[in-house]
Amino acid sequence: MSATATEQLEVAGVIASGEPRKRRLHGWRVSELLSLAWLIALIVGMFALPPLLGLHAQTPSVEAKLAGPGAGHLLGADNLGRDLLARVLSGAHVSLAIGFGSVLIAAAIGIPIGMFAAYLGGAFSAIATFCVDVILAFPGLILALALTAFIGPSFLSVLVAITVPMMPVFARLAKIQTASVLQREYVEASRVIGTPMLSILRRDVLPNIAESMIAFALVSVGTAIMIEAGLSFLGLGVPPPQPSWGSMIAAGQTYLESGPQMIIVPAAFLVLTIVSLNLLSDRFLSEQGADKG
């Protein structure tokens, strides 16, 4: 395998941001605390608020048509008078399930493949690398688009379409990181005394690559949420009536002037969520940088 463009980018993206340490509150930056607070509030809110406030994502109402934010509808209503808070929270289920789901599956399959490839080398590594190259030849969104087009839009097909292009990226990153850990002396020593492969990978390698894998996973959750939003913006996401942030934004296109809240509300949720994930990912990176520096 040669160090191709994407591979180096991933390494660069993950190793790039070695920030100097900033002011911290018990070791946490203010921006990171806010990010964590937003994600927790979103997850708690999407389960707790609808029953608490009696919100319904699908109930239309003639008088609330394009209503601005107010007492009746906290964040306003859409062109059919459906409550935007209810819809955006219902969309959060889709975004977060697909975001975290696809990354968990991709990491669970990709990371072991990458670790084995680095340990075993030879034919296994060559074949795995070639498969990775082939899948990565398709630009992410294009592969997702083609897959949903051919399988037909549903929650499951969107999940598959986003997971498949993500797996090889995890494999590639895990392979590079594992290869560098395997060169350390204590791993050599462990090999010499005959520790079996699986326990070397589990006990010596995994803890050492975990931090950068978590950092990359958090960025990937953001990317997955962004691709899901893109697909549903194009009308190829989770099919209606289930609202999703991307399809809500697409629906607001026609009401740009009369009901801007139809775009502002889902767009704000989308951007805040992705920014939060990226900021938290940076935390793992700078922790890592601080350890090494």
Binding site for another protein (CB under 8 A): 1-6, 8-9, 12-13, 15-18, 20, 130, 133-134, 137-143, 145-147, 149-152, 222, 226, 229-230, 233-236, 246, 249, 253, 256-257, 260, 263, 267, 270-271, 274-275, 278-279
Question: Toward another protein, which CB reaches closer, 4 or 59?
Answer: 4
d(CA 92, CA 51): 15
Nearer CB in complex with another protein: 55/169: 169
Which C-beta is closer to another protein: that of 206 or that of 264? Answer: 264
Contacts of 279 (CB under 8 A, 6+ apart): 31, 32, 35
Distance of CA 112 to the CA centre of its chain: 19
What the block records as the tokens of 209 is: 């690559």
Cβ nearer to another protein, comparing 20 with 54:
20
* Residues whose CB is less than 8 angstroms from the CB of residue 268 and which lie 6 or more positions away in sequence, other chains included: none
Q: How far is the CB of 186 from another protein (least distance, A)?
A: 22
Between vectors from CA 193 to CA 192 and to CA 198, what angle results, nearest 5°? 85
What does the alpha-carbon distance between residue 224 and residue 221 come to, in Å, rounded to a whole number? 5
Shortest Å, Cβ 126 to another protein:
9
CA proximity to 248, closest of 272, 227, 229, 273: 229
DSSP SS3 for 39: helix
Nearest distance in Å: CB 225, another protein: 9
Residue 48 C-beta: closest distance to another protein, Å: 26
Beta carbon nearer to another protein, 53 or 151 = 151
CB of 220 to another protein, least distance (A): 13
CB of 249 to another protein, least distance (A): 7
Instruction: Using the minimum distance from each CB to another protein, give the nearer residue, 1 or 43.
Output: 1
Q: Is 90 or 245 the residue whose CB approaches another protein more closely?
A: 245
For residue 263, the minimal CB distance to another protein (Å) is 5
Distance CA 272, CA 257 (A): 23
Give 76 or 246: the residue with its C-beta nearer to another protein: 246
Closest CB 52 distance from another protein, rounded Å: 29
Between CA 258 and CA 271 the distance in angstroms is 22
Tokens of 212: 């950068």
Contact between residue 66 and residue 79 where contact means Cβ atoms under 8 Å apart: yes
3-state SS record for 225-283: HHHHHHHHHCCCCCCCCCCCHHHHHHHHHHHCCCCCHHHHHHHHHHHHHHHHHHHHHHH
Q: Are 173 and 14 in contact (CB under 8 A)?
A: yes
